[in-house]
Each structure stands twice: as structure tokens, then as C-alpha cells.
Amino acid sequence: MPTDDDGRVHCRLDELLEERGMTLAKLAELVGVTVVNLSVLKNDRARAIRFSTLTAICDVLQCQVGDLLVVTPRP
């Protein structure tokens, strides 16, 4: 199984927030994490995410993990 980080996982947080008319600050407040941590995730710079955080984001945004995180095709 490959272990190198080839940057293919894309976070769709911006799109989901826009669809719901919600700000990153409001999501951070509802999820209980910092805006900085959500910004790292939203900008595809996160190297890991806790399942509890992922679950909380999905609960607040009423989405599934696959709606939030997608794998882009290999070049």
C-alpha cells in the first residue's frame, strides 16, 4: 500500500459551507475546533484528521464523509 503523500485527497469544505450559507467561523464554533485547524483542512494542507472531528463536521453540515473528502484522479 502506498504511503507517500501525493496530495490527491481534496477537501470540499468551501463548497459545502457556501451551499449551506455558513461561515468557517460558525462551523468552528459548532464543531468545537479552531478556525485555524479548519482552514488547514479546507486548504488541503491537513495531513490527518481525527474521526471525532470528521464526524462532528459531517453532523453539522449534514453530509457524508464522501461529500467532504474526495480523491482526485492520478495525473
Domain extent at residue 37: 9-64
Residue 60's CATH number: 1.10.260.40
Does residue 46 form part of some domain? yes
Does residue 3 form part of some domain? no
List, for residues 2-45, the tens digit of each pLDDT value: 555 577 999 999 999 999 999 999 999 999 999 999 999 999 99
List, for residues 50-63, the tens digit of each pLDDT value: 999 999 999 999 99
Q: 9 in helix, strand or coil?
A: strand
The three cell numbers locating residue 29: 464554533
Does residue 50 form part of some domain? yes
Does residue 25 form part of some domain? yes
Residues in contact with 70: Cβ distance below 8 Å, sequence separation at least 6, in sequence order: 9, 10, 12
Does residue 1 form part of some domain? no
Nearest in space to 60 (alpha carbons), one of 70, 52, 48, 49: 52
Does residue 51 form part of some domain? yes
Q: Which amino acid does the sequence have at 53?
A: T
**How many domains does the chain divide into?**
1
Residues in contact with 31: Cβ distance below 8 Å, sequence separation at least 6, in sequence order: 38, 53, 56, 57, 60
Does residue 2 form part of some domain? no
Note the pTM of the prediction, 2 decimals: 0.88
